[in-house]
Amino acid sequence: MSSDFVIRVEGLSKCYQIYQQPRDRLKQFVVPRLQRIFGLPVKSYFREFWALRDVSFEVKKGETVGIIGRNGSGKSTLLQLICGTLSPSSGLIEAKGRIAALLELGSGFNPEFTGIENVYLNASILGLSQAEIDESLYKILEFAELGDHIHQPIKTYSSGMVVRLAFSVAVNVRPEILIVDEALAVGDGAFQLKCMTRLKALQGIGTTILFVSHDLNSVGRLCTSAHILEKGAKLPAEPVFDSIRTYERLLKITGKPETKNVKVKRHPLKKIYLETEYFPDFLGTQEAVISEVDLAVADGKQHEAFECGDDVVLSLKIFAELEFSSVILGFGLRSVQGVRVLGANNQFSGKGLALLRGANKVEIAFKLNVVAGEYFLNVGLVSDDGERLDLDQRWGVRKLIVTSTQRQVGLAYTPTEFRSV
């Protein structure tokens, strides 16, 4: 590992002792000691649960790193260990700089204190002096927008009000390291946008951010890289888009029903299609497969690079083992940061779609109204004959390079005209 880190985690593990019954705690405290005294085999009255096992990574100054994973994967435990509210079972944690953390809702607040009293309490825990808190107080109260409620006890606040105050304290005490654990999910849309704007501002001044969220779009917008936790272990580090794609694949694989004992009759021609242009990253029953994907502008010529505003035709060859009276076929474009920028399916477009047994070809025409940059194409096919079932899902099957001579803002491009009236 390098020496220019702000956060360093090496071989970090956290093990909890799980007791079947309350009295087993007393047995564990007394009995093993007696067994050691009398030279008897030592018996344990608990089972071990490893919330984290051998996790290692580092974060450099100014980076924004996402931590993603399913509920129970160890994300919150990891952040609590970094903040120092939990002690590790083994491993090393180093952090350089003042840490401000938004962990569990209302953590660090006394419910009997008023909002303004909790501002002083929470800021002092973060290491600010009385003078520093006085200097930051107006900005904290202005951002939280709680009005006269700031003089009421925290126990009278809604969950959204608590998040407003906690976030406002955390981002206005000039943290060198900011840790956010899913707290923004409680706030309303307007407040979430306000928080995102403030996080972007903190990024601009070099604040290091650890960001935990189930909102993958937010992870893609904010983070430069992301780590996936699964059952307490960390999967190999990847750029943020690749991590998001891996995590979505993991969710689909683990969420699939058990099918190993289900026998599906294979069509004899399917082998021909599977030996052609077939993509490795897929999920689904494969009773219908997307065997070819082509992109071309409306004139029919294939391009490696497209111009912003081009009329594009997406051609898909689909081989179906069975006849499907109704399917949903969709596509989407993601930026390299993992943000969904464009997409549609035939159901949203009000167009029914069926598949014949054997070879099928479908074309999707759309306007490429995205700003210049690199994008990845995802395609998916779902049966809609009563129970919906994934047939074929593929990510990153094509990389699109979009160029433009126009000066643009945001991710979507809209031709505009300004007139004096």
Per-residue confidence (pLDDT) for residue 253, from 0 to 100: 58
Contact 365, 394 (CB under 8 A): no
Q: How far apart are CA 212 and CA 199, in angstroms?
A: 13
**Structure tokens that stand for 43 in this block:** 């018996």
**Confidence band, pLDDT 50/70/90 cuts, at residue 282:** low
The CA dihedral of 15, 18, 22, 23, to the nearest 10 degrees, is: -90
pLDDT at 90 over 80: yes
What is the percentage of the chain residues whose pLDDT exceeds 90? 24
Q: Is 261 exposed, middle or buried, given 0-12, 13-18 or 19+ CB atoms closer than 10 A?
A: exposed
- Check whether 207 has a pLDDT greater than 60: yes
Q: Residue 83 and residue 93: Cα distance in Å, rounded?
A: 10
Region 158-167: what's the mean pLDDT?
A: 86
* Domain at 258-403: CATH architecture: Distorted Sandwich (2.70)
Name 174's Cβ contacts closer than 8 Å, sequence gap at least 6. 98, 136
CB atoms within 10 A of CB 414: 9
User: pLDDT band at 259, cuts 50/70/90?
Assistant: very low
CATH number of 5-251: 3.40.50.300
Give dist(CA 389, CA 285) in Å, integer.
8
The residue ranges of every structural domain in the chain are 5-251, 258-403
User: What angle is formed at CA 36 by the lines to CA 34 and CA 39, rounded to 5 degrees?
Assistant: 110
182-196, 257-271, 304-318, 364-378, range with the lowest pLDDT: 257-271
Residue 62 in this model has a pLDDT that exceeds 80 = yes
- pLDDT bin (cut points 50, 70, 90) of residue 72 is confident
Residue 191 has pLDDT above 60, yes or no: yes
Q: Please determine, for residue 208, whether its predicted confidence score (pLDDT) is greater than 90.
A: yes
Query: How large is the C-alpha radius of gyration of the chain?
Result: 27
Mean pLDDT, range 277-296, rounded to an integer: 71
Q: What is the pLDDT of residue 256?
A: 45
Tell me how far apart the alpha carbons of residues 290 and 95 are, in angstroms, rounded to a whole number: 48
Per-residue pLDDT at 271 = 39
Closest CA to 215 of 202, 201, 199: 199
Q: In the structure, what pLDDT confidence band is assigned to residue 130 with cuts at 50, 70 and 90? A: confident
Whether this model's pTM surpasses 0.75:
no
pLDDT at 297: 87
pLDDT of 114 higher than 90? yes
pLDDT of 187 reads 62
Q: What contacts 218, CB < 8 A, 6 or more positions away?
A: 184, 196, 211
Fold agreement between 5-251 and 258-403: no
Using the predicted structure, report yes or no on whether residue 261 has a pLDDT greater than 70: no
Convert the pLDDT of each residue in 328-369 to its tens digit: 999 999 887 677 888 999 988 889 999 999 899 999 999 998
Q: Which residue has the tokens 């030279």?
A: 39
Mean pLDDT value across residues 295-317: 82
Of 73, 70, 38, nearest to 55 by C-alpha is 73
Helix (H, G, I), strand (E, B), or coil: what is residue 416?
coil
For residue 13, pLDDT over 90 is answered with: yes
Q: Which residues contact 288 (CB under 8 A, 6 or more apart)?
A: 318, 319, 320, 321, 322, 324, 327, 355, 381, 383, 391, 392
Q: For residue 350, which amino acid is it?
A: G
Burial of 163 (0-12, 13-18, 19+ CB in 10 A): buried
Mean pLDDT, the chain, integer: 82
HSE at residue 214, side-chain half, CA atoms within 13 A, is: 10
- Identify the weakest region by mean pLDDT among 87-91, 122-126, 251-255, 292-296: 251-255
Q: Which residue has the higher pLDDT, 301 or 227?
A: 227
What is residue 129's three-state secondary structure? coil
Read off the pLDDT of residues 218-245 as tens digits, 9 standing for 90 and up: 788 788 888 999 888 888 777 787 788 7
Instruction: Tell me how far CA of residue 323 lies from CA of 98, 276, 352, 354, in angstroms.
Output: 62, 22, 14, 8
Tokens for 412? 């979507």
Position 105 scores a pLDDT of: 62
